[in-house]
């Protein structure tokens, strides 16, 4: 997991929004606001044991699996994605173990009220405390909308990287 201060610039929420230069946030700073994380690779031999150890340490009794995808959420996908990105709190800890895909948890740093962005990928286990303002979004790699718009033939399309790759793939270029 990579943690850094969100740049607060307008634009697509699915983009990294990392400042230039980047302003990383340390594990100690996250611990100070009760945000905890572990790295448990999804393909490790004792993943279940590691997850069980964290669950026991924190007193968790239940687990469920949620697929945040068009397949998993169906007609509710767009509504859910928008809802996840609305700043909110929970009355219980939010625990997320990322099995596949990637995205961003944005959390409010108290008392400064700055956004910290947590870039999560498979194997990241994240605990967001009850009462902390936060939001979530998938990143741009999780856009399963096909790009089926036509790009009409022209001198520019002859130089399009996809066109050039196609020509290389059939050994014409």
Whether the predicted pLDDT of 162 surpasses 80: no
**Structure token pair of residue 30:** 């996250």
Query: Could you tell me the residue ranges of all domains in the chain?
Result: 2-144
Binding residues for Fe(2+): 88, 90, 94, 134
Q: Can you give the pTM of this predicted structure?
A: 0.76
Identify the weakest region by mean pLDDT among 31-35, 140-144, 148-152.
Answer: 148-152
What Cα–Cα distance (Å) separates residue 151 from each residue in 14, 40, 108, 120, 143? 25, 43, 42, 34, 20
Q: Which residues are part of a known binding site? A: 88, 90, 94, 134
Is the pLDDT confidence value at 150 over 60? no
Cα angle 69, 73, 74 (rounded to 5 degrees) comes to 105
107 burial (CB, 10 Å; 0-12 / 13-18 / 19+) is buried
Which region among 79-88, 100-109, 119-128, 135-144 has the lowest average model confidence (pLDDT)? 135-144
Is CATH 2.60.40.420 the classification given to domain 2-144? no
CB atoms within 10 A of CB 167: 12
User: Which segments are annotated as binding site for Ni(2+)?
Assistant: 88, 90, 94, 134
Q: Please calculate the CA angle 98-104-107 and round it to the nearest 5 degrees.
A: 110
Q: In the chain, what is the straight-line distance between the N-terminal and C-terminal CA atoms, in Å?
A: 41
């Amino acid at each position: 997991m990579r943690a850094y201060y969100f740049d607060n610039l307008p634009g697509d929420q699915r983009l990294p929004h990392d400042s230039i230069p980047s302003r990383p946030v340390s594990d100690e700073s996250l611990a100070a606001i009760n945000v905890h994380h572990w790295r448990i690779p999804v393909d490790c031999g004792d993943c279940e044991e590691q997850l069980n150890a964290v669950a026991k340490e924190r007193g968790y009794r239940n687990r469920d699996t949620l697929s945040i995808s068009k397949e998993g959420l169906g007609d509710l996908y767009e509504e859910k994605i928008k809802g996840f990105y609305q700043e909110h709190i929970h009355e219980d800890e939010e625990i997320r173990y990322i099995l596949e895909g990637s995205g961003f948890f944005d959390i409010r740093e108290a008392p400064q009220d700055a956004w910290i962005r947590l870039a999560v990928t498979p194997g990241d286990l994240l605990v967001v405390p009850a009462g902390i303002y936060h939001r979530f979004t998938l990143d741009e790699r999780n856009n399963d909308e096909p790009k089926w718009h036509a790009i009409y033939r022209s001198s520019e399309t002859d130089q399009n990287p996809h066109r050039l790759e196609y020509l290389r793939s059939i050994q014409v270029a």
